[in-house]
Amino acid sequence: MNDLVYARRKKVNALMFALTAVCATLASGTLLAILGYIAWKGGSSLSWSFLVNLPKPVGEHGGGIANAIVGSAKVVGLAGVLGIPVGVSAGVYLAEYGRGKYAFSVRYAADIMNGVPSIVVGLFAYALIVHPMKKFSALSGSVALAFIMVPIVLRNTEEFLRLVPGTIREAALALGVPRWKVTLFVILPTAGRGIMTGALLALARVAGETAPLIFTAFGNRFADNGWLNPIATLPHTIYTYAISPYEDWHNQAWAAALILMAFVLVVNVTARLWLRPRLT
C-alpha cells in the first residue's frame, strides 16, 4: 500500500516536471522560431538595392526602404537626444537626492508614464503637436518616443547609481570635493557603463514602436523632407506593407522586419555581453 502511494507520488513528480520542461521549451523556443522564420522569409527578399532605393509607386514591382531606414534613424535619434538627458538627470536626482514629497511625486509620475500604453502616448503627441500644427511630423513622432524612453532610462539610471558603493562617495567627499563634482565626475562615471547600456536598450525598444507613430510620424513614400513633415519609419513601413493586399509588399515587409529585428537583437546581445562582467 505504502509502496503504491510512493510510486504514485514519484509518477506525479516526474509528470509535472516533464510538463514544466515542455513549458520552458515552448517559451524559449518561440524566440528561435520567430528569428528563424524572419531570417528565412526576410533573407530571400533582402538585397542591397532594397536597402538603398526609395519605394516604387504603388502597383509597381520592386523598390526599397531607404527612406524608412533613414527616417527611423532620425526619429529615434531625436527621441534619444530629447529623452536620454531628461531620464539620466532625473535618475541622478532620484538616486542622489531622492527624498521628500517632490522626489516621491517625480518617481510616481515616472511609474505612471512607464505603464501608459504606447498608443496613448501617441495620442498625447497628436494632441500636443500634430493637432495644433495641423500636420503629421517627424518631430511629433520623436516626442512620443522620447516620452516612452524617459521612464525607462530614469529607472535604469537610478538602479545603477544605487549600485555604486557608498565608500566611493565618502572617499571623494572626505577629500573635500564638492557634492556636485562628486556626483558628476566620480559617481556618474562609475555607473557610466550601466547607464549607457540602459540608454541603448531604451533606444532599441522605441526603435520597434509602431503604435505611437501611426498618427504622428505617419509614414511617407518619398525621401525624408525635414522635421516638420511626415516621415517613413521601419516599424510603420512593416505595418502598412503587412496589411496591404500586395504579395510584393508582403515580401518587403519581411525583409524590413529582418533589418529591424537584427538591429534590436544586436543591441540587446551587445548590451548583455557588455554588462556581464560588471554584474558578476
Partner 1 sequence: MVTAVFDRARRVPGSRERAGDLLFRLTISGVAGIILLAAGALAWQLARESASTWKSFGLAFLWTSTWDPVSDVFGVLPFLYGTAVSSLLALLIAVPLGVGAAIFLTELAPKRLADILMFAIELLAAVPSVILGLMGIFILVPGMRALGAPYGVGMLTAGLILAFMVLPYITTITREVLLTVPRPLKEAMYALGGTRWEVVRGVSLPYARSGIVGAVFLSLGRALGETMAVTMVIGNTPKISASLLAPGYSMAAVIANELAEAASDAHLSALVAIGLTLMVVTIVVNGAARLMLYRLGSRK
Choosing from 49, 62, 111, 185, the residue that interacts with partner 1 (CB under 8 A) is 111
Report how many residues bind partner 1 under the rule CB under 8 A: 103
Choosing from 152, 154, 191, 203, the residue that interacts with partner 1 (CB under 8 A) is 154
Choosing from 67, 78, 84, 93, the residue that interacts with partner 1 (CB under 8 A) is 93
List binders of partner 1 among 222-261 (CB under 8 A): 235, 238-239, 242-243, 250, 253-254, 257, 260-261
**Residue 111 grid coordinates:** 511609474
Q: Cβ of residue 40: shortest distance to partner 1, in angstroms?
A: 12
List binders of partner 1 among 28-67 (CB under 8 A): 28-32, 34, 37-38, 41
Compute φ and ψ for 212, nearest 5 degrees.
-75, -5
List binders of partner 1 among 70-89 (CB under 8 A): 85-86, 89
Choosing from 268, 270, 274, 275, the residue that interacts with partner 1 (CB under 8 A) is 268
List binders of partner 1 among 124-153 (CB under 8 A): 124, 126-128, 131, 136, 147, 150-151
List binders of partner 1 among 178-217 (CB under 8 A): 178-181, 183-184, 204-205, 207-211, 214-215
